[in-house]
C-alpha cells in the first residue's frame, strides 16, 4: 500500500487515521464497517466527520469525534440530553467507541434525516443568500430561545454552536448537530473544544470552568447570530470576535442595544426577544447584496482564482463603502502582484476598523516585498490588539530572526509555542538555537521536552544577561544609570581614570536615562598626551557584535566635513568611541550664547552639511545620518564646520525605508517621528529645520502648525535674509516627501554661486535687540525671569514671544503667570497645537482638569497623530477619576509610538487602577521590545506585583527575582518578594529579602513588621518579639496587626498571661473572628473552658461557618465537664 498525504503535505501511512505531524484526522473510507453499519459516504465539518451508513435494512447517520470524557461521564451526559433531543426530533439511537492509534473515537448514531443538514449547513445557505431571509432568521432565533430554556432546565451548556453544525431539515425545522460536548454548569467537566472565530481566543487558556463555559457559549451564540444577520463568517475575524463596526450604520439602534445586553447577560441561555435587526429595508438589501458579492468572491478566492475573485470584492465595496472585509480580500488578491495597491487597500480596511488580522496580513505583504522592519512593526500592532495570536508571534519571531535580533526572536517563538503547541513553532526555536551555535538548547526543542502549561504564559523566558556596575561605595546598579540609586554618587568614569590607554581629563556630559540620553562624553588624552573626545555608551549584551561591526564600518568613512572616528572598543558593558579633539562649540551652544547666526555662516552650514549628505548618499548602499540638528554641528575655532555623531546612521537599500527609533523633535521629518522610518530626503528636512533655527535664532517648534503641516510665517521674523536662502529652506522642509528637495551636486552648484554673490543686508537693530532679549529669557535664573520677560515683551509681543515666555515660566514652576500669558495668545488668531498642549499642561498642573481636557481635545481636531496630547489627556482624566477614559487615552498614545517611558507610565496606571491582567499583558509584551536593564527590572517587577494580586504567588516570585537580577537595589521589590515568600511558607527566603530591603531603607516599617513574622515562622521567637516591641504603630490597623502578632508569639513562647492581656486589648480594638478563635484556643490551653466556649460562640457570630470555631467547640464537648 502506498503512503498518503494530509492536506498540509505531510506523508503518512496508507492506513493511518492521524497525521502525527499536524494532527489531521483522516475519514474512514466508504465500505468500512462500524460494527454492523457500513459507511456509504462521509462529510467533514470543522475537525470531525459525519458518515451516512447502512446495515442492509436501515440507514442512519453516525457522528464521529474524539472522546475526551470517561465512560461514566459520557453515559451521564447522554442520559441527561436524550429526552430533550427526542423532543427536538433528533434522538440519540445508540453510541459506541472505536480505538485507533492511541486515540479513542466516539461514534453517535442518529436518524438519516439529519444528513441533508450535514451536506448543506447554515454556512452554505449564507454563501448563497448573503444573509438569512427574515422568516428564516426568526425561525433560527426561536429555535435558539427554546434550546436555551431546555439546556437551562437540565443545567447544561452547549458551546458547540457554529454555522457548519447548524441547518434546516426537510420540514424547515432548525437543527444543531454537535451534542457530544455538552457540559454541566458545575465544575466537574471542562469543555475540550475550540472553534476558530466562534470562541474568543483570549480566553482559550483561562479555564476556570464555570465562567469559562458560560463565556464560550455566549461567544458562540453571539457569533452564530451575527453571522446570520451580517453574512460574515466569524472565522474570517480570527483571532478577534466577529465585528459589526463596518455594518453598524445598517443595523438598527434597538438591535445594537439588544446585542450589548446579550453580551453582558449572566446567562447566555436566557435570550430576550429579538428586535428588528436592520435600520431599514434598504439597509437590509444593501447588506444582502454586498454579502452575496463577497461570498461569490470568497469562493473564488478559496479556489485560488484571485483575478476572478477581484471584481466581486470590488462590487461589494461599491455596494457598501465601509465593507472592511471586502477591502481586505481585494488587497489579498493583489498582495503578490501589486504591492502599492495592496497597501492602499489594506490601509482602507484598517481605516474602516482596526483589526489584528488586517495588520497580520499587511505584515505578510511587507515580507513578500522584503520589508522586514515594516512587517515587524505591523505585527506588534496586531499583537497589541489581540495578545493571543500565536501565528502573529511566530511571524514576528521570524522577522526578528531575519534582522538578527535573536533574543527577541526567541521570546516571540516561545510566546507562540505557549499559546499553541504547533510543531512548526518548536522547530523554529530549535533552528534558531542551532543558528546561534547552541546545540544543547536546540536539542531540547528537537526532542520535544519543552515544558508547558497554563502558568507558562505569565513568564517570558529570556536569554539576556543581567549586568550590574558598582558605585564608589560598592552598591550595585544597572549599567545605564547615571547615579547610584542608594547613595546618589555619579556612576561611570571620573577624572583621572584610565581606560584602554586613555586618561579622563574632564566630563563634558553625563548620561541621563530619564531623558532617554544614554551617552556620557569626556575629554581625555592618549599616552602620548594627545587630547581626544571619548564617548561612552551602554551596549546590551545582544547588541555588542553589532556595535563593533557598525563602528568598524564607520571607521572606513572619512570626509573633511565629518568629525571622523579614530578608534572604537568595548569594555563590557560599555562601548567607547574616540574622536579627535577640536576646540569650538556646537551650533546649539552658539545660538544660546549669541542668538541668530549671520547669513554667511548659515550659507556655510548649508554648503558643508549638504556636501556630507551627498557624500553619504553616494556610498553603496547609501547612508542616512538620521539625526542632523544644531547640537550635532560643530563650529571650530579655526572656522571649520563639522558634522558629527554618526551613531544614528542607517543604510538605505533601494525602494526601502528602514526603521529608525531615534527622532529628535522638531528636526526629524514627520515620517521619522511618527512611523520611525527614514529615506533619502530625511536628512534634507533636518538640515532645513536646522538652518531655520540658525537664521531666526528661535526654537523652530514655535513656528510649527501640525494641522497646516508646515512651519508658519517663520520668514516674517527675518526680512533682512536673502530670498534665495529662504526658498531653499522651504524646498527642504516640505511635509510631503514627494515634494521635498533631494540634495545633489547639481543643486549644490547654483547654491555655491548664490553664496559667492551674497551681499548681506544690515541686520535691523530691532532684530538684534530681540535676539538679545530672547536668549536672556532663555538663560535667566528664576529671580531674574520676570524682569527679562518684560524686556522681551516690550520689544515684541506676538504669539511666538508669548508662547516662549509662558514655557519658561512653566519651567520655573510659575504656573499662574504662565497661564495668564498663554490666554493672551488667542488674540493673535489661530492658536497652534503646541500652545494648546502647553495650556493643557498648565491647567493639569493647576488642577483644572476639565479645562485641560477641553483644551487638549481642541488640539486633536488638527493633530491626531502625536502621542503627547493623549498622555496629557490621560493624566487629566486621572485627576477627574475617569478610569475608562484614562486607559483609552494611554492606549491611543501607545498606538502613536509613545516613547518607552510613557508606556511604563501606562502600565503603572493599569496596576494602580487594579487592571492586573491588562498590566501583566502589557508588561510581558514590552519585555520583548526593550533591552535596557532598568526598564526590564521595572517590567518584571510590575509583572510580579500583578501576579501577586492575582494570587499566583509562585509565578510572582519568579518575576520579582528576575527584576532583582536586572537591578538589585530595589527596596520595594525586595519587600514584595519577602511578603510572597511568607505566603509560600518560605520564612528563610523571606528573611533574606526583607533584610535586604532594610539594608537599603532601614526605617521601612512594613519590612520590619514582616521580618518579625518571618523570624516567628522560623521559630526565632525572641528575635521576632524584639522586633515587634521596637515598632511604633503608625495607624489603627498597624496597632491591631502588631498586637495580634505579639499575642501569637507570646503564646508560642508560653508567656500566656502576657498573651492573654494582648488578646483582651485586641477584643476592644478590633473584635473579629480571628481574635476570638485565637483567644479561645489560648483559653483552652489555660483550661478556661467556659471562657473558651464563649469566645468560640462569639467567633461563630462573625462567621457561622468558621471551621476553627466549630472545631474548638467540638473539642470542648469531648472534654470532661470542668470549671475555670
Q: What is the pLDDT of residues 618-635, one digit of tens each?
A: 887 788 888 899 988 999
Kindly state the cell numbers that stand for 834.
503646541
Cα separation, 841 vs 869, in Å, equals 9
**What pLDDT was estimated at residue 378?**
93
**What pLDDT was estimated at residue 115?**
93
Cα separation, 974 vs 979, in Å, equals 9
Where do the CATH 1.25.40.10 domains begin and end in the chain?
900-969, 1032-1117
Residue that is written with C-alpha cell 505569565 in the block: 458
Tell me which CATH homologous superfamily contains domain 120-282: Transferase(Phosphotransferase) domain 1 (1.10.510.10)
The CATH architecture assigned to 900-969 reads Alpha Horseshoe (1.25)
**What pLDDT was estimated at residue 21?**
65
Contact 959, 937 (CB under 8 A): no
**What pLDDT was estimated at residue 661?**
55
**CATH topology for 17-119?**
Phosphorylase Kinase; domain 1 (3.30.200)
Residues facing 134 on adjacent strands: none
Cα separation, 771 vs 777, in Å, equals 10
On whether the pTM is more than 0.85, the answer is no
pLDDT tens-digit readout, 343-372: 999 988 888 888 899 999 999 999 988 889
Which ranges of 12-131 would DSSP assign to H, the alpha helix? 71-87, 115-119, 122-129
Which segments of the chain have a pLDDT < 70? Answer: 1-2, 20-22, 101-102, 187-189, 200-210, 321-322, 446-467, 480, 485-488, 513-518, 542, 647, 650-663, 674-676, 704-710, 712, 828-831, 864, 1120-1124
**CATH topology for 1032-1117?**
1.25.40
User: What contacts 24+ positions apart, CB below 8 Å, involve 127-130?
Assistant: 127/295, 127/298, 127/299, 128/292, 128/295, 129/288, 129/292, 130/231, 130/287, 130/288, 130/289, 130/290, 130/291, 130/292, 130/294, 130/295
CATH classification code of 493-580 = 3.30.200.20
Q: Where are the strands (E) in 809-850, listed by range?
A: none
Longest dimension (CA), the chain: 119
Where do the CATH 1.10.510.10 domains begin and end in the chain?
120-282, 584-761
**What pLDDT was estimated at residue 207?**
45
Cα separation, 807 vs 774, in Å, equals 13
Start-to-end CA span in the chain (Å): 90
Residues facing 48 on adjacent strands: 45
**CATH topology for 584-761?**
Transferase(Phosphotransferase); domain 1 (1.10.510)
**DSSP strand pairing (174-176 vs 704-705):** unpaired
Cβ atoms within 10 Å of 433's Cβ, excluding its own: 22
**Which H helix or E strand runs over 215?**
helix 209-230
Where do the CATH 3.30.200.20 domains begin and end in the chain?
493-580
Cα separation, 260 vs 244, in Å, equals 12
Residues facing 51 on adjacent strands: 42, 62
**What pLDDT was estimated at residue 399?**
92
Distance, C-alpha 281 to centroid of its chain: 42
Kindly state the cell numbers that stand for 899.
516613547
**What pLDDT was estimated at residue 488?**
67
Three-state DSSP state, 535: strand
Amino acid at each position: 500500500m502506498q503512503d498518503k498525504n494530509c492536506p498540509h503535505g505531510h506523508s503518512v501511512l496508507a492506513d493511518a487515521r492521524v497525521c502525527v505531524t499536524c494532527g489531521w484526522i483522516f475519514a474512514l473510507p466508504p465500505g468500512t464497517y462500524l460494527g454492523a453499519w457500513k459507511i456509504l459516504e462521509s462529510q467533514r465539518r470543522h475537525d470531525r466527520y459525519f458518515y451516512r451508513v447502512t446495515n442492509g435494512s436501515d440507514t442512519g447517520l453516525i457522528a464521529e469525534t474524539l472522546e475526551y470524557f470517561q465512560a461514566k461521564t459520557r453515559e451521564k451526559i447522554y442520559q441527561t440530553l436524550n429526552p430533550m433531543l427526542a423532543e427536538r426530533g433528533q434522538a440519540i439511537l445508540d453510541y459506541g467507541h472505536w480505538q485507533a492509534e492511541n486515540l479513542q473515537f466516539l461514534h453517535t448514531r442518529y436518524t438519516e434525516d439529519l444528513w441533508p443538514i450535514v451536506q448543506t449547513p447554515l454556512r452554505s445557505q449564507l454563501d448563497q443568500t448573503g444573509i438569512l431571509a427574515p422568516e428564516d432568521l426568526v425561525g433560527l432565533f426561536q429555535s435558539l430561545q427554546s434550546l436555551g430554556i431546555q439546556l437551562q432546565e437540565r443545567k447544561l451548556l452547549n458551546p458547540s454552536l457554529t454555522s457548519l453544525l447548524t441547518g434546516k431539515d426537510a420540514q424547515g425545522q432548525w437543527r444543531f448537530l454537535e451534542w457530544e460536548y455538552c457540559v454541566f454548569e458545575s465544575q466537574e467537566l471542562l469543555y475540550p473544544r475550540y472553534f476558530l472565530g466562534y470562541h474568543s481566543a483570549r480566553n482559550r487558556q483561562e479555564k476556570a470552568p464555570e465562567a469559562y463555559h458560560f463565556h464560550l457559549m455566549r461567544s458562540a451564540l453571539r457569533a452564530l447570530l451575527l453571522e446570520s444577520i451580517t453574512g460574515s463568517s466569524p472565522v474570517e475575524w480570527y483571532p478577534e470576535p466577529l465585528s459589526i463596526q463596518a455594518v453598524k450604520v445598517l443595523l438598527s439602534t434597538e438591535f445594537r442595544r439588544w446585542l450589548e445586553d446579550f453580551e453582558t447577560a449572566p446567562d447566555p441561555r436566557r435570550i430576550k426577544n429579538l428586535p428588528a435587526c436592520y435600520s431599514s429595508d434598504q439597509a437590509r438589501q444593501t447588506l444582502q447584496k454586498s454579502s452575496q458579492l463577497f461570498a461569490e468572491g470568497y469562493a473564488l478566492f478559496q479556489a485560488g482564482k484571485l483575478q476572478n475573485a477581484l471584481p466581486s470584492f470590488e462590487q461589494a465595496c461599491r455596494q457598501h463603502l465601509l465593507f472592511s472585509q471586502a477591502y481586505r480580500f481585494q488587497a489579498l488578491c493583489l498582495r503578490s502582484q501589486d504591492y502599492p495597491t495592496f497597501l492602499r487597500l489594506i490601509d482602507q480596511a484598517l481605516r474602516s476598523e482596526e483589526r489584528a488580522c488586517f495588520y497580520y496580513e499587511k505584515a505578510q505583504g511587507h515580507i513578500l516585498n522584503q520589508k522586514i522592519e515594516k512587517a515587524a512593526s505591523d505585527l506588534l500592532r496586531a499583537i497589541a490588539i489581540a495578545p493571543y495570536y500565536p501565528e502573529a508571534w511566530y511571524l514576528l519571531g521570524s522577522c526578528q530572526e531575519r534582522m538578527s535580533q535573536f533574543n527577541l526572536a526567541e521570546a516571540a517563538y516561545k510566546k507562540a509555542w505557549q499559546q499553541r503547541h504547533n510543531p512548526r513553532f518548536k522547530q523554529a526555536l530549535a533552528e534558531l538555537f542551532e543558528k546561534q551555535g547552541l546545540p544543547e538548547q536546540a536539542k531540547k526543542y528537537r526532542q520535544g521536552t519543552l515544558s508547558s502549561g497554563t502558568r507558562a504564559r505569565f513568564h517570558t523566558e529570556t536569554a539576556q544577561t543581567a549586568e550590574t556596575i558598582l558605585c564608589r561605595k560598592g552598591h550595585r546598579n544597572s549599567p545605564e544609570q547615571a547615579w547610584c540609586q542608594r547613595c546618589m554618587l555619579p556612576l561611570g568614569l571620573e577624572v583621572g581614570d584610565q581606560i584602554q590607554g586613555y586618561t579622563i581629563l574632564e566630563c563634558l556630559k553625563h548620561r541621563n536615562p530619564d531623558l532617554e540620553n544614554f551617552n556620557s562624553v569626556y575629554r581625555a588624552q592618549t599616552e602620548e598626551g594627545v587630547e581626544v573626545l571619548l564617548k561612552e555608551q551602554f551596549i546590551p549584551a545582544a547588541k555588542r557584535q553589532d556595535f563593533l561591526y557598525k563602528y568598524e564600518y564607520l571607521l572606513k568613512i572619512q570626509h573633511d566635513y565629518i568629525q571622523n572616528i579614530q578608534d572604537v572598543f568595548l569594555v563590557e558593558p560599555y562601548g567607547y568611541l574616540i574622536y579627535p579633539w577640536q576646540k569650538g562649540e556646537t551650533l546649539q551652544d552658539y545660538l544660546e550664547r549669541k542668538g541668530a547666526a549671520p547669513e554667511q555662516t548659515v550659507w556655510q552650514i548649508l554648503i558643508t552639511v549638504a556636501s556630507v549628505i551627498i557624500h553619504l548618499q553616494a556610498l553603496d548602499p547609501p547612508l542616512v545620518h538620521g539625526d542632523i540638528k544644531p547640537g550635532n554641528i560643530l563650529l571650530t575655532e579655526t572656522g571649520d564646520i563639522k558634522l558629527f555623531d554618526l551613531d544614528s546612521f542607517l543604510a538605505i537599500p533601494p525602494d526601502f525605508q528602514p526603521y529608525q527609533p531615534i527622532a529628535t523633535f522638531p528636526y526629524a521629518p514627520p515620517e521619522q517621528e511618527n512611523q520611525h522610518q527614514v529615506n533619502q530626503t530625511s536628512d534634507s528636512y533636518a538640515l532645513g529645520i536646522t538652518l531655520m533655527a540658525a537664521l531666526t535664532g528661535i526654537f523652530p517648534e514655535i513656528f510649527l502648525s501640525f494641522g497646516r503641516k508646515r512651519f508658519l510665517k517663520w520668514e516674517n521674523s527675518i526680512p533682512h535674509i536673502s530670498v534665495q536662502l529662504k526658498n531653499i529652506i522651504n524646498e527642504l522642509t516640505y511635509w510631503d516627501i514627494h515634494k521635498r528637495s533631494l540634495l545633489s551636486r547639481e543643486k549644490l552648484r547654483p547654491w555655491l554661486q548664490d553664496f559667492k554673490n551674497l551681499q548681506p543686508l544690515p541686520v535691523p537693530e530691532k532684530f538684534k535687540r530681540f535676539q538679545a532679549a530672547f536668549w536672556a529669557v532663555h538663560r535667566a535664573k528664576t529671580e531674574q525671569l520676570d524682569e527679562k520677560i518684560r524686556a522681551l515683551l516690550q520689544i515684541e509681543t506676538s504669539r511666538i514671544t508669548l508662547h516662549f515666555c509662558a514655557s519658561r515660566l512653566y519651567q520655573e514652576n510659575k504656573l499662574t503667570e504662565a497661564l495668564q500669558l498663554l490666554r493672551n495668545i488667542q488674540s493673535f488668531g489661530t492658536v497652534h497645537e503646541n500652545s494648546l498642549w502647553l495650556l493643557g499642561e498648565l491647567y493639569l498642573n493647576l488642577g483644572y482638569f476639565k479645562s485641560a481636557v477641553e483644551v487638549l481635545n481642541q488640539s486633536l481636531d488638527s493633530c491626531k497623530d502625536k502621542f503627547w496630547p493623549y498622555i496629557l489627556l490621560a493624566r487629566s482624566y486621572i485627576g477627574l477619576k475617569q478610569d475608562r477614559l484614562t486607559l483609552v487615552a494611554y492606549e491611543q498614545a501607545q498606538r502613536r509610538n509613545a516613547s518607552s517611558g510613557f508606556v511604563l507610565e501606562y502600565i503603572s496606571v493599569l496596576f494602580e487602577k487594579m487592571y492586573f491582567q491588562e498590566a501583566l499583558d502589557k508588561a510581558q509584551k514590552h519585555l520583548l521590545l526593550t533591552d535596557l536593564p532598568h526598564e526590564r527590572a521595572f517590567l518584571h517587577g510590575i509583572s510580579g506585583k500583578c501576579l501577586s494580586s492575582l494570587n499566583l504567588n509562585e509565578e510572582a516570585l519568579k518575576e520579582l527575582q528576575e527584576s532583582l537580577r536586572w537591578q538589585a537595589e530595589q527596596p520595594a521589590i525586595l519587600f514584595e518578594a519577602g511578603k510572597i515568600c511568607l505566603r509560600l511558607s518560605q520564612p528563610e527566603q523571606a528573611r533574606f529579602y526583607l533584610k535586604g530591603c532594610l539594608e537599603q531603607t532601614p526605617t521601612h516599617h512594613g519590612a520590619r513588621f514582616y521580618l518579625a513574622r518571618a523570624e516567628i515562622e522560623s521559630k526565632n521567637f525572641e528575635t521576632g518579639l524584639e522586633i515587634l516591641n521596637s515598632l511604633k504603630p503608625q495607624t489603627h490597623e498597624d496597632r491591631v496587626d502588631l498586637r495580634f502578632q505579639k499575642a501569637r508569639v507570646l503564646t508560642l513562647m508560653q508567656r500566656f498571661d502576657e498573651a492573654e492581656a494582648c488578646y483582651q486589648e485586641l477584643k476592644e480594638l478590633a473584635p473579629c473572628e480571628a481574635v476570638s478563635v485565637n483567644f479561645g484556643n489560648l483559653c483552652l490551653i489555660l483550661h478556661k473552658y467556659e471562657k473558651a466556649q464563649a469566645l468560640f460562640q462569639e467567633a461563630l457570630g462573625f462567621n457561622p461557618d468558621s471551621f476553627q470555631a466549630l472545631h474548638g467547640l467540638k473539642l470542648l464537648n469531648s472534654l470532661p465537664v470542668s470549671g475555670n
